[in-house]
Chain A
Amino acid sequence: MIRTEELLLNVGPQHPSTHGVFRIIVKIDGEVITEAIPVMGYLHRGTEKLAESLNYTQIIPYTDRMDYVSAMTSNYVLVHAVETMMNLEIPERAQYLRLVVMELQRVASHLVWWGTYLLDIGAMTPFLYAFRDREKIIDMFNELCGARLTYNYMRVGGVKWDAPVGWIDKVREFIPYMRKNLEEFHNLVSGNEIFLARIKGIGKYDAQTAIDYGLSGANLRSAGVKWDLRKDQPYSIYDRFDFDIPVGVNGDCYDRYVIRMEEIRQSLRILEQAMAQFPTDGDIMGKVPRIIRPPEGEVYVRIESPRGEIGCHIVSRGKAEPYRLKFRRPSFVNLQILPKLLVGETMTNLVTILGGIDIVVGEVDA
């Protein structure tokens, strides 16, 4: 009589496909997962605790390190929260600069996702294609604020640096360039039979489940829920732009893939319109008190980061430091559905599903 035994396998904390120090304890029967327990906290730096003894400007660099693939949006959510509390007016040029960097960041972030996702699935070349184009964006950011990953670019009331001469033209040139390359990406990958067989129908959930688990971003939209904060609860100046929100049908990894690819295109559309409207000059900092002390009270702002709804909940007691600062990190919330999706899948699909959720461990652990 042959007896099969379940194998307890530690995926992570050091594993190429967990995209950071993240661990999943999986019970496998052959290659089929019977149980999955995510373990996190390896990258927990206590951002929220640290923030309580720092003033708001000092917290901005910490937000960079949360979602390090999309630092601009993390920057923005904090300054946006403080600005909402203080009822500050942001100069037009700063608004546009913020929007442009956030949309560029979305493109860059989705490119990283695209590349690493294909790498997870076993194709190496797309990764380098994606990074070639992301590099262009990173270079632009570097020129703008002197950093390639942790920008520390936004400030309460505006942005730290004005666009250097010729920078806007570079963004203008980038849009058609990226459009062309996006076509190339589709030609290279999107129709590949092996790739489609790997992601179609994998990691499926319906809209009800997605909402119940509080998923956001492409994870929510893939299940057919049309919910994009840029459209549904507009912040910044998104209401001035015309763009579409791609929505999936099946809620599987393929839909998430298609949505993210389409979001790149839509971001380019937004950028194109922003370039046309971009104010030629103006202030980049609004009128901000010397010491930033939001009034007593609390506020929760939320924006659409490339990974979903990133929120910032500030409880202020009228001091220069927040009394309590809580970030709603989309990666953390989206990851909750993972154990549910993994049961009954193979080891290979673990990588596909985890990659499809698109987490950044810095953000999961904060």
Chain B
Amino acid sequence: MEDFLQKTLGWGNFTIFAISAIAMLLISLGFVTYFIYFERKVIGWMQFRIGPNRTGPLGLLQSVADVAKLLMKEDTIPKKADKALFILAPVITYVPSFMVLAVIPYSETLYFTDLNVGLLYYIALSGISTIGIVLGGWASNNKYALLGGMRSAAQMVSYEIPLVISVTGVIMISGSLNLRMIAMGQEGWFWHWNIVPQILGFVIFTIAAIAELNRTPFDLPEAESELISGYHVEYSGFRFAFFMLSEYTYVYAIAALTTVLFLGGWYAPAPFLDFIPGLIWFFAKFAFVVFFLFWIRATLPRIRIDQLMSLGWKWLLPLSLLNLFLTAIYMEIFR
């Protein structure tokens, strides 16, 4: 992979890049499809239900059928909606969610970019999606959607900050913003993983990441029981699907990012387990993070908006700053 990236860009290379980008898109779509399937299954089991089991063997085609249904649905735009923004909003939300996948390394050899500001790139781009959500809420000309959009903006701004600062600890330890370098810095036993020295940072990161994902207990922008479904209440058909898609693509991205930043990326927990390929380790950790998100969703109720704000500003932000100092002291002592 590295060879390709080092070569000068020619038509041949470009074609390969384009094909791998499309392949990645399809993989992420396939992932989202089965992510939803597994989410429904796992949560179903947690709730004494069976989950989807009618469409296809074991219900495996349920999500496919859902997507097909969404594609075939009538495309409705409210009469008084701001048409241009209404159409643009799902696109603005989805595109960055796919773009951030570019910087995630999957194993020592499998990665798509070797960007030395990878982490910054991820955080910068994911911030753009918020604009899509706010726009969608605004353009719908619906009060619930507007409230959802407003909540989303407040939430994203509040949680982006502790998210970034909590990651700074990791950056300080590994001395790089390049996700590959960060992952490589965690080689060895599992106590070499960043989760051990950065346990506080990890907790803050997890909370802030769930908030960024708009998932329970931080699903206030959509808050089914309060705001009907928040910012995408007026969306249907494939425009709605795009919001869904970007939400789940972010789950993919965040799970991968957590794995790379804190859980040692593709490294086995112990060196003698190295005979198992790194890709499998990566996906095992990744799956655990995803499962953890399901688990949280099935367990916790939703937090209130003012509690969300005070949690973000009064707890997570000071704690993430504290984490920064502790990391600095740690580095001063142990290096």
Contact = CB atoms under 8 A, between A and B. Distances in A.
Q: Do chains A and B touch in the complex (CB under 8 A)?
A: yes
Interface residues on B, range: 20 to 34
A121 interface: yes
Contact of B47 (A7, A9, A125, A351): A125
Contacts of B302: 121-123, 194, 198
Contacts of A123: 216, 299-302
Contacts of B224: 16, 122
Contact of A122 (B43, B46, B147, B301): B301
B3 interface: no
Interface string B127-152: 00000000000000001100100010
B117 interface: no
B298 interface: yes
Contact of A346 (B217, B298, B304): B304
Contacts of A332: none
A312 to B, nearest CB: 33
Contacts of A195: 301
A198 B303 contact: yes
A58 interface: no
A211 interface: no
A349 interface: yes
Interface in A38-90: none
A122 B227 contact: no
Interface in A186-210: 188-189, 192, 194-195, 197-198
A37 interface: no
Given A194-B300, A198-B301, A122 B48 contact: no
Interface string A331-348: 000000000000000111
DSSP majority for the A interface?
Answer: helix
Contacts of B228: 15-16
Interface in B280-331: 297-307
A202 to B, nearest CB: 9
Nearest to A196: B301
Contact of A347 (B216, B226, B299, B301): B226
Interface string A153-173: 000000000000000000000
Interface core residue of A119, A189, A348, A350 (most chain B CB under 10 Å):
A348
Of A9, A118, A125, A192, chain B has the most CB atoms within 10 Å of the CB of: A125
B182 interface: no
A31 B301 contact: no
A129 B301 contact: no
Contact of B301 (A9, A16, A192): A192
Nearest to A120: B225
Contacts of B220: 348
A135 B175 CA distance: 58
B219 interface: yes
A348 B304 contact: yes
Contacts of A249: none
A346 B225 contact: no
B254 interface: no
Interface string A106-126: 000000000000111111110
A129 B43 CA distance: 12
A341 to B, nearest CB: 16
A119 B48 contact: no
A237 interface: no
Interface string B54-81: 0000000000000000000000000000
B83 interface: no
B51 to A, nearest CB: 12
A128 interface: yes
Nearest to B48: A132
A196 B220 CA distance: 17
A255 B147 CA distance: 30
Contacts of B298: 124-125
A105 interface: no
Contacts of B297: 124
Given A9-B143, A123-B299, A128-B47, A194 B217 contact: yes
A23 to B, nearest CB: 14
Nearest to A9: B143
A216 interface: no
Contacts of A222: none
Contact of A128 (B49, B147, B217): B49
Given A118-B301, A192-B301, A348-B304, A125 B46 contact: yes
Looking at A15, A17, A122, the one whose CB has the most chain B CB atoms below 10 A away is A122
Task: Identify the interface centre among A194, A195, A349: most chain B CB within 10 Å of its CB.
Answer: A194
A120 to B, nearest CB: 5
Nearest to B229: A16
A188 B225 CA distance: 20
B75 to A, nearest CB: 23
A25 B284 CA distance: 50
A30 to B, nearest CB: 8
A136 to B, nearest CB: 12
Contacts of B217: 122, 194
B301 A17 contact: no
A354 to B, nearest CB: 10
B223 interface: yes
A349 B303 CA distance: 11
26 contacts: A15-B228, A16-B225, A17-B226, A119-B225, A121-B302, A122-B216, A122-B219, A122-B302, A124-B43, A124-B298, A125-B43, A125-B299, A128-B47, A128-B48, A128-B49, A129-B47, A194-B300, A194-B301, A198-B301, A198-B304, A346-B304, A347-B147, A348-B220, A348-B304, A348-B305, A349-B304
Enumerate the 10 nearest inter-chain pairs by beta-carbon distance, A residue then B residue, closest first. Answer: A122-B302, A123-B301, A128-B47, A121-B301, A122-B301, A17-B225, A348-B304, A120-B225, A125-B298, A195-B301
Given A128-B48, A194-B300, 8 more contacts: A7-B143, A122-B223, A122-B225, A124-B297, A132-B48, A197-B303, A347-B147, A347-B226
Interface of B: 43, 46-49, 143-144, 147, 151, 216-217, 219-220, 223-228, 297-307
Interface of A: 7, 9, 15-17, 31, 118-125, 128-129, 132, 188-189, 192, 194-195, 197-198, 346-351
